[in-house]
């Protein structure tokens, strides 16, 4: 491995800056807020995260300066666990993949920090907000920069914690606190899968079952991503209960990814997570944390490529989620809920990408999604800000003229997510769908077509629900009450600045990954090539050819236009009457979509209620059986101690009393000797002396 | 004059003293009995001193003891009489039979 990477000493600074920011704001932030002012908390947080960005950019430039095969910076901080042949270090790696993630996290995260300064200015505990936000940046950077799976898991848990803290930021509201708990618990289920995957992986690499029993391997065990790229080959052929071990590991890890990245069946927490402050929704629940699952699969591409079954499951789940969430997005009335389901849907696209082996396309979509979805969320925050906290789009309308910057940036991001050329998602989503269509599936031959079909319908749906949102929110007459309408105003500069930058990135961000068809250099794919080339080489094209690719691309654009036209037809000019007429005709379907297919209710009935019933049953057992047993034990102890006490009282104490009484009785008689008369004593003394003399005489005589 | 005759006198003296100590009721009489016992012991010392050692170089230790005891007896008499005086002042009697405060 020597000569393939550079050892550097500064990567640890990238997560370190936000950690310091979090500590400063967390410990003395309240004091600064009171004594100096809220702006200082914001400045501290911003300085921390932008310092990270600059460091990351320096690392990125170093990478660019290297030969493609040597593009890897490693910063070994210290050895964390060293048990026998098992080595885990706290070390950070920046290769092309983690460089992309780091820049997205610090860059988009930095813009959201700037935006937050304006957004959170009216809150009571600004210091707490920025402390959490920086802590999140720290955990996320540990996640993406970690050199090994265990350290990644530390970051993985860290972002989960911060997500919980920030969703429940306004914990005075019980609903919001509950949403935080829901996110935490659902993520915990996923994390169980992740942890199980790690353990399976360790177990698989540490040895194997032979005819003589389990044999530990002799070699040094390592969770290092670069080392594992070679050592996972040892998993080939191993099985657990007749299933390939690689599949078991990949599926377990994917369960973790469905929790963190909100896929079926664990997506339910993400829409509820919108209870948090809007910039948090943009940063954690759209741009960065929820993409951790995609990143993890891309990071472990060499492992997933070993299990076509697991890949098929990932792609299938992604496609299903993409469509499922899009259809829920059709009917939601809360602006943030629409965007939340849109996020779930877009994450589905990313999983299609990594699931069909198009890791580059998946990561590319991850990046462009970070731009346009952050822009959309921040835009929605700006809208909510303007509407004095109103989130129901049916009570908005006609905002186009009143908050122009928000409108235009929102529109650009909408065009981007809908897949209109030349905006960002056109390139990334198209690449995913094309790869989904073209990559052969060795397990189920018709799988690519099914995935592609679901994805394409989801893309159509994306365009529809996004334009529905735009039309209802920004066009037509304002449906707000007089009071709110009077207050509508454009957001402060810090907020619009972030919006403009993100809108710009949503526009040009896709240009670095232009498909081969245009005969322009695909910088992004070229950049990630060193990470994925080995895995990519194992995939086979179905040989659909350039003509088909052109055709599909045109079809994608057609879908985007179709979605837009459908939305314009129904909601054009911000009208709701047509929509209501349609809804009246498909009342049943509408209700299913509006109530999110009753999945929450289903989980409540199938998982939560039985669980509560179980706890009640256990409580009953506790009260009636365990407590009785405890009481019985107590009663037995009491009885025994009573018995013991009686022995003490009557036998031991009795003996002691007898001795005492005897002595007292003896004293009563003996005291009479003490007459107090001097001459009685003298008599006794003389008698004694005489006795001694007599005795000594006698003894002398006998001797 | 033999040593036996002197020792006999001393023994008689000691017995009289002891009898006096054991039987007299008056504390001053008891004290006088004690003096008799001391002098009996003195007589013994002097007798042994005279009859041991050579002529012209008698054994001196016995006489030293005798002198010592006379001094001690004087001191003892002084302290004892003072105590008896204190007792009389407090109790109004020097009858030893009545002085049984230490009883029970």
- Of the partner residues A674, A677, A682, the one whose CB lies closest to the CB of residue B21: A682
Residues of chain A found within 8 Å of residue B102, distances taken between Cβ atoms: 674, 676
B87 interfaces chain A, CB cutoff of 8 Å:
no
Rounded alpha-carbon distances, angstroms, from residue A604 to A264, A502, A599, A608, A614? 16, 38, 8, 5, 14
Residue A46 pLDDT grade (very low, low, confident, very high; cuts 50, 70, 90): very high
User: What is the spatial distance between Cα A153 and Cα A157, in angstroms, rounded to a whole number?
Assistant: 6
Residue B101 pLDDT grade (very low, low, confident, very high; cuts 50, 70, 90): confident
Residues of chain B found within 8 Å of residue A678, distances taken between Cβ atoms: 30, 96, 99
pLDDT (mean) for A560-570? 91
Please give the mean pLDDT across all residues of chain A: 88
Please judge whether A679 and B21 are an interchain contact, meaning their C-beta atoms are less than 8 angstroms apart. Answer: yes
pLDDT (mean) for A654-683? 88
pLDDT tens-digit map of A125-165 = 899 999 999 999 999 999 999 999 999 999 999 999 999 99
pLDDT tens-digit map of A348-370 = 999 999 999 889 999 999 999 99
Query: Helices A335-355 and A292-299, interaxial angle, to 10°?
Result: 10
Position A2 scores a pLDDT of 45
Residues of chain B found within 8 Å of residue A686, distances taken between Cβ atoms: 18, 22
Percent pLDDT > 90 in chain A is 47
- Of the partner residues B18, B30, B100, the one whose CB lies closest to the CB of residue A686: B18
Taking Cα atoms as reference points, which of A155, A153, A142 lies closest to residue A223?
Answer: A153
First-last CA distance in chain A: 106
Position A680 scores a pLDDT of 85
Q: B53 to chain A, minimum CA–CA distance in Å?
A: 28
Residue A1 pLDDT grade (very low, low, confident, very high; cuts 50, 70, 90): very low
Helices of type H across A572-606: 577-585, 587-594, 599-603
Please judge whether B21 and A677 are an interchain contact, meaning their C-beta atoms are less than 8 angstroms apart. Answer: no
pLDDT (mean) for A553-567? 91
Q: What is the pTM of this model?
A: 0.76
Q: Which residues pair with B95 in a beta bridge?
A: B26
Position A376 scores a pLDDT of 93
User: What is the spatial distance between Cα A125 and Cα A113, in angstroms, rounded to a whole number?
Assistant: 15
Nearest CA in chain A to B19: A683
User: What is the spatial distance between Cα A101 and Cα A294, in angstroms, rounded to a whole number?
Assistant: 11
| Domains in chain B: ranges and CATH | 3-96 (1.10.287.3510)
Please judge whether B104 and A686 are an interchain contact, meaning their C-beta atoms are less than 8 angstroms apart. Answer: no
User: What is the spatial distance between Cα A41 and Cα A33, in angstroms, rounded to a whole number?
Assistant: 7
Cα torsion for A151, A153, A154, A159, to the nearest 10°? 130
Percent pLDDT > 70 in chain A is 98
pLDDT at A224 over 90: no
Position A636 scores a pLDDT of 95
Residue A197 pLDDT grade (very low, low, confident, very high; cuts 50, 70, 90): very high
- Whether the CB-CB separation of A342 and A462 falls below 8 Å is answered with yes
Residues of chain A found within 8 Å of residue B96, distances taken between Cβ atoms: 677-679
The interface predicted TM-score of the complex, written ipTM, equals 0.82
User: What is the spatial distance between Cα A141 and Cα A98, in angstroms, rounded to a whole number?
Assistant: 9
B99 interfaces chain A, CB cutoff of 8 Å:
yes
Query: Helices A292-299 and A359-386, interaxial angle, to 10°?
Result: 170
Taking Cα atoms as reference points, which of A258, A289, A286, A292 lies closest to residue A342?
Answer: A286
pLDDT (mean) for A535-556? 83
Residue A209 pLDDT grade (very low, low, confident, very high; cuts 50, 70, 90): low
Position A394 scores a pLDDT of 85
B21 interfaces chain A, CB cutoff of 8 Å:
yes
Cα torsion for A166, A106, A224, A360, to the nearest 10°? 110
pLDDT tens-digit map of A246-301 = 899 999 999 999 999 999 889 889 988 888 899 998 888 888 899 999 999 999 99
Please judge whether B96 and A671 are an interchain contact, meaning their C-beta atoms are less than 8 angstroms apart. Answer: no
pLDDT at A210 over 70: no
Interface test with B, best of A676, A684, A685, A688 (most B CBs within 10 A): A676
Q: Which residues in A497-656 belong to E strands, given as ranges? A: none
- In degrees, rounded to 5, the angle at the alpha carbon of residue A265 between the alpha carbons of residues A259 and A271 is 70
Residues of chain B found within 8 Å of residue A682, distances taken between Cβ atoms: 21-22
Residue A325 pLDDT grade (very low, low, confident, very high; cuts 50, 70, 90): very high
Please judge whether B102 and A676 are an interchain contact, meaning their C-beta atoms are less than 8 angstroms apart. Answer: yes
Q: Using DSSP, state whether B59 is helix, strand or coil.
A: coil
Higher per-residue pLDDT: A653 or A545: A653
Rounded alpha-carbon distances, angstroms, from residue A52 to A18, A155, A364? 7, 16, 22
Please judge whether A674 and B23 are an interchain contact, meaning their C-beta atoms are less than 8 angstroms apart. Answer: no
pLDDT (mean) for A421-443? 87
Residue A3 pLDDT grade (very low, low, confident, very high; cuts 50, 70, 90): low
Please judge whether B100 and A677 are an interchain contact, meaning their C-beta atoms are less than 8 angstroms apart. Answer: yes
Residue A388 CB burial class (10 angstroms; 0-12, 13-18, ≥19)? middle
Residues of chain B found within 8 Å of residue A671, distances taken between Cβ atoms: 104
Please judge whether A678 and B96 are an interchain contact, meaning their C-beta atoms are less than 8 angstroms apart. Answer: yes
């Amino acid at each position: 491995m020597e000569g393939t990477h550079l050892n550097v000493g500064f990567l640890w600074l990238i997560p370190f800056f936000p950690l310091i920011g979090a500590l400063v704001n967390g410990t003395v932030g309240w004091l600064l807020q009171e004594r100096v002012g809220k702006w200082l908390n914001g400045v501290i947080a911003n300085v921390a995260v932008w310092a990270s960005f600059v460091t990351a950019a320096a690392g990125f430039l170093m990478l660019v300066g290297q030969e493609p095969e040597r593009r890897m910076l490693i910063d070994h901080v210290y050895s964390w666990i060293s048990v026998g042949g098992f080595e885990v270090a706290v070390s950070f790696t920046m290769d092309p993949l983690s460089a992309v993630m780091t820049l997205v996290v610090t860059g988009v995260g930095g813009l959201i920090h700037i935006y937050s300064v304006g957004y959170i200015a009216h809150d009571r505990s600004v210091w707490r907000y920025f402390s959490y936000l920086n802590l999140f940046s720290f955990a996320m950077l540990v996640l993406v920069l970690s050199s090994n799976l265990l350290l990644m898991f530390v970051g993985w848990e860290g972002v989960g914690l911060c997500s919980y803290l920030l969703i429940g930021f306004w914990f005075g509201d019980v609903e919001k606190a509950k949403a935080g708990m829901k996110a935490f618990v659902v993520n915990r289920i996923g994390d169980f899968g992740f942890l199980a995957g790690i353990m399976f992986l360790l177990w698989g690499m540490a040895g194997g079952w032979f005819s003589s029993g389990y044999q530990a391997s002799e070699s040094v065990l390592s969770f290092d991503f670069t080392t594992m790229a070679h050592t996972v080959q040892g998993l080939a052929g191993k099985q657990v209960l007749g299933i390939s071990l690689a599949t078991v590991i990949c599926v377990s890890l994917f369960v973790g990814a469905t929790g963190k990245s909100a896929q079926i069946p664990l997506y339910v927490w993400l829409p509820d997570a919108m209870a948090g402050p809007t910039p948090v929704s943009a940063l954690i629940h759209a741009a960065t944390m929820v993409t951790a699952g995609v990143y993890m699969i891309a990071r472990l591409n060499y492992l997933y490529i070993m299990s076509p079954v697991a890949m098929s499951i990932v792609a299938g789940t992604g496609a299903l989620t993409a469509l499922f969430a899009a259809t829920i997005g059709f009917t939601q009335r809360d602006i943030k809920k629409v965007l939340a389901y849109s996020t779930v849907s877009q994450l589905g696209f990313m999983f299609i990408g990594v699931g069909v082996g198009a890791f580059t396309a998946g990561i590319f979509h991850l990046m462009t999604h970070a731009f346009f979805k952050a822009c959309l969320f921040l835009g929605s925050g700006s809208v909510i800000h303007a509407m004095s906290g109103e989130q129901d789009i049916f009570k908005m309308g006609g905002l186009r003229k009143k908050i122009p910057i928000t409108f235009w940036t929102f529109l650009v991001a909408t065009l981007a997510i809908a897949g209109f050329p030349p905006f960002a998602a056109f390139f990334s989503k198209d690449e995913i769908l094309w790869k989904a269509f073209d990559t052969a599936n060795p397990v189920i031959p018709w799988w690519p077509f099914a995935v592609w079909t679901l994805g394409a319908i989801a893309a159509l749906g994306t365009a529809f629900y996004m334009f529905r949102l735009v039309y209802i929110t920004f066009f037509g007459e304002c449906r707000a009450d007089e009071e709110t309408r009077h207050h509508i105003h454009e957001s402060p500069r810090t907020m619009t600045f972030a919006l403009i930058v993100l809108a710009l990135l949503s526009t040009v961000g896709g240009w670095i990954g232009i498909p081969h068809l245009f005969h322009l250099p695909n910088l992004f794919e070229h950049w990630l090539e060193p990470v994925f080339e080995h895995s990519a080489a194992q995939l086979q094209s179905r040989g659909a050819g350039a003509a088909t690719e052109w055709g599909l691309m045109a079809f994608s654009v057609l879908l985007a236009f179709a979605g837009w036209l459908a939305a314009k037809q129904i909601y054009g000019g911000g009208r709701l009457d047509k929509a209501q007429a349609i809804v009246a005709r498909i009342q049943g379907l509408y209700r299913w979509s509006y109530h999110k297919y009753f999945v929450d209710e289903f989980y409540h009935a199938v998982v939560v209620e039985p669980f509560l019933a179980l706890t009640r049953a256990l409580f009953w057992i506790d009260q009636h059986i365990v407590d009785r047993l405890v009481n019985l034990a107590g009663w037995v102890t009491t009885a025994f101690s009573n018995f013991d006490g009686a022995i003490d009282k009557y036998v031991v104490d009795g003996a002691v009393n007898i001795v005492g009484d005897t002595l007292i009785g003896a004293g009563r008689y003996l005291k009479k000797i003490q007459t107090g008369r001097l001459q009685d004593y003298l008599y006794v003394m003389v008698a004694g002396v005489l006795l001694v003399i007599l005795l000594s005489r006698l003894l002398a005589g006998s001797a | 004059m033999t040593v036996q005759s002197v020792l006999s006198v001393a023994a008689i003296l000691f017995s009289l003293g002891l009898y006096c100590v054991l039987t007299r009721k008056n504390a001053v009489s008891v004290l006088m009995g004690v003096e008799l016992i001391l002098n009996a012991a003195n007589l013994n010392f002097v007798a042994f001193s005279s009859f041991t050692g050579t002529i012209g170089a008698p054994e001196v230790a016995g006489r030293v003891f005798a002198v010592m005891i006379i001094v001690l007896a004087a001191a003892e008499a002084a302290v004892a009489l003072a105590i008896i005086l204190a007792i009389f002042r407090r109790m109004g009697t020097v009858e030893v039979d009545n002085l049984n405060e230490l009883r029970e």
